[in-house]
């Protein structure tokens, strides 16, 4: 596609449920990033993929958070046993290998009740 | 870790005026800086970037200035338009060629264009 796409655009879930968020990067972009943005705040880096591997997972806030990427393209961010503090906008970005400029998707707005 | 911060959370300017959004960074090892614009309900949109070997870069109606001596970054928007109303984030990257740490973002400045 022309840009980074994310789904769902909005997700409302109950505390304790698991959620999966999906990111489709720009075609040909090998690097993929996940960020979290709380209301009125800046972006918090979560995890980075180069191809299918994630060299650095230290940004994930707890072991309830995990992410994977298969085929060097689509990535899913999974949050297990969601908590109310997980409510935020989850943004995905991608970039070309060797380039710093990251292009963002529209985000998934997660609300945990 | 070191962080990127913004001086003003909200900036209100008259339509047609120029605006300047400031950003302070503390990581002297950062070698790449970028400005994003985020409109309500949307993801951040790339505006302009600059590397540490430059002190000025111009785009269409936007200019980014980098002062490494005082670790200061600014975004100048000329002849502001209603569509410029958004939150503007500065971000830094320590690594070249993309980084495992991603970009470090400031909290953002909300630019409001008054008619």
State whether A45 and B103 contact (CB < 8 Å).
Answer: yes
Q: What are the backbone angles phi and psi of residue B35, rounded to the nearest 5°?
A: -110, 135
Find, among A34, A56, A30, A39, the residue nearest to A104 by Cα. Answer: A34
Q: How far apart are CA A5 and CA B39, in angstroms?
A: 17
A91 touches chain B (CB under 8 A): yes
Total Cβ atoms within 10 A of residue A56: 16
pLDDT in tens, chain A (113 residues): 579 999 999 999 999 999 999 999 999 999 999 999 987 778 888 998 988 888 777 789 999 999 999 888 999 999 999 999 999 999 999 998 878 789 999 999 999 99
β-strand partners of A91: A35
Residue with tokens 């380039």: A99
User: Closest to B101 (Cβ–Cβ): which among A56, A99, A102?
Assistant: A56
Task: Name B77's Cβ contacts closer than 8 Å, sequence gap at least 6.
Answer: B18, B19, B20, B21, B61, B62, B84, B111
Quote the tokens at residue A91.
């943004």
pLDDT (tens digit, 9 = 90+) per residue, B67-114? 999 999 999 999 999 999 999 999 998 654 444 456 888 888 999 999
A75 touches chain B (CB under 8 A): no
pLDDT (tens digit, 9 = 90+) per residue, B27-79? 888 889 999 999 988 999 999 999 999 999 999 999 999 999 999 999 999 99
Cis peptide before A71 (omega within 30 of 0): no
B109 touches chain A (CB under 8 A): no
A72 touches chain B (CB under 8 A): no
């Amino acid at each position: 596609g022309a840009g980074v796409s994310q789904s769902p655009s909005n997700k409302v879930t109950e505390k304790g449920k698991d959620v999966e968020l999906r990111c489709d990067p720009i075609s040909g972009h090998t690097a993929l990033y996940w960020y979290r943005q709380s209301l009125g705040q800046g972006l918090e880096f979560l995890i980075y993929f180069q191809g299918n591997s994630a060299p650095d997972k230290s940004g994930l806030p707890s072991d309830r958070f995990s992410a994977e990427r298969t085929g060097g393209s689509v990535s899913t961010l999974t949050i297990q046993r969601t908590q109310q503090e997980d409510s935020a906008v989850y943004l995905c970005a991608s970039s070309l290998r060797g380039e710093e400029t990251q292009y963002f998707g529209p985000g998934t707005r997660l609300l945990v009740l | 870790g070191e962080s990127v911060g913004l001086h003003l959370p909200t900036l209100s300017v008259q339509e047609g005026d120029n605006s300047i959004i400031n950003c302070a960074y503390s990581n002297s090892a950062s070698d790449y800086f970028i400005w994003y614009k985020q409109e309500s309900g949307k993801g951040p949109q790339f505006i302009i970037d600059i590397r540490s070997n430059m002190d000025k870069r111009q785009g269409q109606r936007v200019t980014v200035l980098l002062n490494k001596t005082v670790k200061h970054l600014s975004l100048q928007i000329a002849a502001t338009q209603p569509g410029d109303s958004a939150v503007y984030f500065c971000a830094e990257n320590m690594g070249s060629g993309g980084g495992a740490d991603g970009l470090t973002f400031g909290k953002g400045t909300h630019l409001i264009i008054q008619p």
